[in-house]
Structure 1
């Protein structure tokens, strides 16, 4: 039951927002009593934290599986972006922005966990990209991986990037192109160009 509550809560939180969804909403969606939810999570704040932990574990697991496939490093970057956005429902409710505003006690530990995951995955991707010749051999790996993390967080700031001008999907595409264009070799840029053309054609179908 506990995992079912987390799955349903995650679905509602990501689609409608952490602030607007109530315990009644979750109970109604699951056709159970609110008392049943409170038996597992005594407050909404505890449910929000547990849901965020559940989501970050799902993302970490899926990204680790992708990383183990040792894909072309540029392809891998886009596949990881696609997977994370699927889990987060394309971030329709701006989950990180809402967490920072309404649940800072959940947001800041989450940020530390995200940093650990991103560093591990991005550094491995950068090292492999250098080995395969897709990335420049002289890039400062630690610096680039940290700038990547800062940039990823920055795109979530709705004051800097208002939703009426920048959709989440558009922001991520802009950000990845910016990131990869700065570190790719000629070989990497060719792969990136082919991938972008392929993605564009797929979206037009």
Structure 2
């Protein structure tokens, strides 16, 4: 990692653990243990810092996703690995972070664009391979299913629908996606899913 990447990673961990707004610029500088002048050379404003951290996070997610999917042996396992990874990530994130991120329009917009393009494309490719391989039902409307998966994500992170103080986001994620994936599987896909469940604690 470069010096900047190391700093971005440290800030990202602070944000995920404590949220964005709980720390002032001075707090972050103190926690990073760097000079204020160095900080201001890297970031022109708080908005710029959040944007750079968001872009760093997105690139990390892309690499992690590629490594994760390379381990799968079939499309059902790919979907399930993404599901487990999503649950684990939600468990590691303070819900306040997601709510805070929405207060930074440019960073939030790039996050939404990543979800709506990259994630939707990946899901569509997996579903298509799964249909062709007999793991997912042939009557699936791929465009509709990928749209539903996307909208379920937006519903999940909407604090008006699932207030973080009342609902565990990881459990919401599990409840939304786990049972939905099971419902689109064929008998063969269902067997693969059951085998995956038996090997993994979800």
Other-structure match for 1:27 = 29
2:69 matched residue in structure 1: 67
Q: TM-score, normalised by structure 1?
A: 0.86
Question: Cα distance, 1:66 vs. partner?
Answer: 2.7
Partner residue of 1:52? Answer: 54
Greater RCO, 1 or 2 (C-alpha within 8 Å, sep 6+): 2
Equivalent-residue separation in structure 1 for 2:26 and 2:90 (angstroms): 22
Unaligned runs of 5+ in 2: none
Q: Which runs of 4+ in 1 moved over 6 A?
A: none
Unaligned runs of 5+ in 1: none
Aligned equivalents of 2:29 and 2:96: distance in 1? Answer: 23
Q: How does 1:1-205 map to 2 (within 5 A)?
A: 1-84=3-86, 90-100=92-102, 102-200=103-201
Q: Tell me the C-alpha RMSD between the 2 structures.
A: 2.1
CA pair 85-183 structure 1, distance change in 2 beyond 3 A = closer
Which stretch of the first structure deviates more once superposed, 170-179 or 6-15? 170-179
Aligned residues between the structures: 200
Q: CA deviation at 1:103?
A: 1.2
Please report the TM-score for the alignment, with normalisation by the length of structure 2: 0.88
